[in-house]
Amino acid sequence: MQRIISWNVNGIRACEKKGFLDWLNGIDADCICLQETKAVESQLGDNLLEVPGYKFVLFPAERRGYSGVGTYFRHEPLSLEKMDCAEFDVEGRVMILEYPQYYLLNCYFPNSQPGGARLDYKIAFCDAILEKCRELLAKGKQLLMCGDYNIAHKEIDLARPKENVDSPGFLPEERAWMDKFVAAGFVDSFRKFNSEPGNYTWWSYRSAARERNVGWRIDYHCVNEGFADRVAAAGIQSDVMGSDHCPVYIDLQI
């Protein structure tokens, strides 16, 4: 069995001050995929870079203090690559780890921003990552794409859908892309096990939203349909603090 955890830490240095290392040293996971790391390697201490039992690789954005993904892994991947698309790699959006049986994509999808200011960029990224998924599947392995998608797919995935029809992350174009992604043969692993409302992965820091569970589910582990029968469990660790997001996990029978 392999456990893969994904967590938007909203700044790994900020999260470190809120107990990140205690959490990391207390879990039993094969890969921990982080998004919005907001750091370059020279800004991190050895306690983050040299965690016993793991290797850590960081793909930062060129812009300091912004975006970026990083992965702690126990088992060395066969290959480790970026998306190979300059307009997205410059923001540290994707890390692709190849293992013998599957590809693991650690992704931080763009935020479409108020008024849809970056919606075109967001949808371009979404279409490009779908094409990358198809390209990787064509090589004959399974695929798991985890991370912060910055999209609540359906009304069940946020506490107040009617009030947020014009909000970034719930725009019709974003939700339509998720429909397209699912139609292309990908499975939202959490919904394979849980069809209940009230399960969220992000809460605003304002208005005590987390305490009142007024949140959004925008962090996912999605697999191709042929890999879905290997998913033993998927869940949300909403009790873990340290960010405005919480970790999500998937267990694979490998």
pLDDT at 229: 97
* Residue 107's CATH number: 3.60.10.10
Range of the structural domain that residue 203 is part of? 2-252
Write out pLDDT tens, residues 120-133: 999 999 999 999 99
Catalytic residue numbers, as ranges: 148
Share of the chain above pLDDT 90, in %: 98
Inter-residue long-range contacts of 138-141, CB under 8 Å, 24+ positions, other chains counted: 141/98, 141/101, 141/102, 141/103
Tokens 């763009």 locate to 110
Specify burial of residue 32 (Cβ count, 10 A radius: 0-12, 13-18, 19+): buried
Provide the number of structural domains found in the chain.
1
Note down pLDDT in tens along the chain; length 254 residues: 999 999 999 999 999 999 999 999 999 999 999 999 999 999 999 999 999 999 999 999 999 999 999 999 999 999 999 999 999 999 999 999 999 999 999 999 999 999 999 999 999 999 999 999 999 999 999 999 999 999 999 999 999 999 999 999 999 999 999 999 999 999 999 999 999 999 999 999 988 999 999 999 999 999 999 999 999 999 999 999 999 999 999 999 98
pLDDT at 55: 97
Rounded distance, CA 31 to CA 1, Å? 12
